Amino acid sequence: MPTITENKYFIFDRPQRLGLKRFVKNVLVIPFNFIYHCRLAFCHVKPESKKYKLSICAIFKNEALYLREWIEYHKIVGVEHFYLYNNNSEDDYQTVLAPYIADGTVTLTQWPRNQAQMQCYHDGIARFKGETEWLTFVDIDEFIVPNATDNIYDFLKPFQKKRPVVIAYWKMFGTSGMLNRDTSGLVAKDLTVCWNKYTDIGKVFFNTAFDFDKNDKHNGALHHYSWGKKGNVAIPPVNVFGKMCTFGKNPIPRWADASYFPLQVNHYFTKTYEEYLQKKAKGDVYFKINPHDEAYFYEHEMKNQSVDYRIFKYLIKLELVMK
């Protein structure tokens, strides 16, 4: 059966099979979306003002080297609080996080369970949805970049009364041709070479004015794709263009309607070659056996043929605060 690896806007995380199943999905998506749009007409919410407008829930393991830049950057783009889960780290993460815990920026939870990333996120929603209007789930190698606005919350506000979940797409970054680098430098500044197009998966922003059902079959990998709920009505996510994403783990790629993405997630997947090897050696919060071998590295590295400087509009602020 023939497959395609990309379309006008996306490189697919997994090649798309062209066949009857895909054809049927593309046909059925129209009536399904109509049904859900009708349901949404009766599922608007009145958002409550909460302690935080936007927060991140993240799990980390042996990533002390990168935590400060990641936190300071996301504070600049409007993240007000961080619910961080430590998964058996053996580095000096406590020293890095101490001032942020002291000033109330970070809530730290010890999470010793291995390969329990999704359960961690479920815990984050259950415990903290009453404190924050929006909750997103990104890793320490992911930087949210609002392009159309200067902070993330301004982008999310138009979705707040009627959309439970918004999905933003990955822009994958590689080594920028470096075997190694001075890691006292900024990830966001040092690494600029990336894939030509966005990846057809990304990360979720959950609107806590809606409900979340952890037992919903759509919520098994909720950091990439999830549904919300209003009463007994399950509601699919939309992407950054407001287009409903009804079928499958990945949003239907053809539902991007512009070459300019108003918000993206920079995924510094490998960093330099040496950092990639260190990442593979230190263990993983999701995989029991890390599958990211040499072949996996080159599979991603060979797609890096463009540059993306969109994050640079925040760099002066970031460099000043990091000094």
CB atoms within 10 A of CB 248: 10
Distances (CA, A) of 75 to 59, 70, 130, 189, 265: 18, 9, 20, 17, 15
Cβ–Cβ < 8 Å for 167, 262: no
Q: Output the pLDDT for position 111.
A: 96
Distance of CA 119 to the CA centre of its chain: 16
Crossing angle for the helix pair 64-76 and 93-102, to the nearest 10 degrees: 30
Q: What is the pLDDT of residues 217-242, one digit of tens each?
A: 888 888 899 999 998 888 999 999 99
Distances (CA, A) of 147 to 191, 216, 313: 18, 32, 9
pLDDT at 114 over 80: yes
Q: Output the pLDDT for position 110.
A: 98
CB atoms within 10 A of CB 109: 15
Bridge partners for 110 per DSSP: 86
Q: What is the pLDDT of residues 1-51, one digit of tens each?
A: 678 888 888 898 888 787 787 777 777 777 777 777 777 777 778 888 999
What whole-number distance in Å separates Cα of residue 240 and Cα of residue 90? 37
Average pLDDT over residues 167-183: 97
For the chain, list the strands marked E by DSSP: 3-6, 10-17, 52-60, 81-86, 106-110, 132-137, 142-146, 165-173, 193-195, 198-199, 202-207, 228-230, 233-235, 238-239, 263-268, 304-307
Q: Output the pLDDT for position 306.
A: 97
Q: What is the pLDDT of residues 185-224, one digit of tens each?
A: 999 999 999 999 999 988 999 999 999 999 998 888 888 9
What whole-number distance in Å separates Cα of residue 47 and Cα of residue 24? 37
Kindly report the pTM of this predicted structure. 0.93
Confidence band (pLDDT; 50, 70, 90) for 252?
A: low
What whole-number distance in Å separates Cα of residue 37 and Cα of residue 29? 12
Q: Output the pLDDT for position 290.
A: 64
Tokens (6 digits) for 140 = 């320490």
Whose tokens are 């599922």? That residue is: 43
Burial of 211 (0-12, 13-18, 19+ CB in 10 A): middle
Cβ–Cβ < 8 Å for 9, 256: yes
Q: Output the pLDDT for position 53.
A: 98
Distances (CA, A) of 186 to 49, 288, 305, 316: 34, 30, 21, 11
Distance of CA 184 to the CA centre of its chain: 25
What whole-number distance in Å separates Cα of residue 104 and Cα of residue 106? 6
What whole-number distance in Å separates Cα of residue 228 and Cα of residue 165? 6
